[in-house]
Amino acid sequence: MAYDTNNIFAKILRGEIPCIKLYEDAHTLAFMDIMPQAEGHALVIPKEPAITLFELSDEAAAACMATVRRIGLAQKKGLGAEGIVLMQLNGAAAGQTVPHFHIHSIPGSIAELRNPHASVMADMAHLQAVAEKIRAALG
């Protein structure tokens, strides 16, 4: 399947759709998931267009992991999370719903995931407040 430049994450990267940004550098963007599975659920995406890990360059994959580590540490510090669930799905058959590579960074434990993936829209004011805690922990 060819990369769809009109997927929601591509539109976020182009600034066509807003997001609650946590962190951005030359290679990645981290932002709050608007349909979180748990408090503080964030997404990390590469700026490079790729649907799955297997289409992503080694450089973009490494940049994503560095950002995931940074976000996870901030979630632990800012939200007092004891654990972080990292989830990454490759292809629709695996449950991937947005055709742009992304990694979920979810504070808590796998047993605490309260909502099914992409099912309940968050209150934006609450999401913004949680994002402030994570951003403050980023320094």
pTM, whole model, 2 decimals?
A: 0.95
Instruction: Please check whether residue 2 lies inside any domain of the structure.
Output: no
In order of 45, 57, 139, the CA distances from 10 in angstroms are 10, 17, 27
Q: Can you give the three-state secondary structure of the chain, one letter per residue?
A: CCCCCCCHHHHHHCCCCCCCEEEECCCEEEEECCCCCCCCCEEEEECCCCCCHHHCCHHHHHHHHHHHHHHHHHHHHHHCCCCEEEECCCCHHHCCCCCCCCEEEEECCHHHCCCCCCCCCCCHHHHHHHHHHHHHHHC
Instruction: Please check whether residue 72 lies inside any domain of the structure.
Output: yes
85: domain range? Answer: 8-138
* pLDDT grade for 115, boundaries at 50, 70 and 90: low
pLDDT in tens, 46-105: 999 999 999 999 999 999 999 999 999 999 999 999 999 999 999 999 999 999 999 999
Instruction: Please check whether residue 109 lies inside any domain of the structure.
Output: yes
Average pLDDT, the chain: 95
Number of structural domains, the chain?
1
Active-site pick, 27, 41, 100, 102: 102
Instruction: Please check whether residue 1 lies inside any domain of the structure.
Output: no
Mean pLDDT, rounded, for 108-130: 86
Instruction: Please check whether residue 3 lies inside any domain of the structure.
Output: no
pLDDT at 99: 97
102 given a catalytic annotation: yes
CATH of the domain at 123: 3.30.428.10
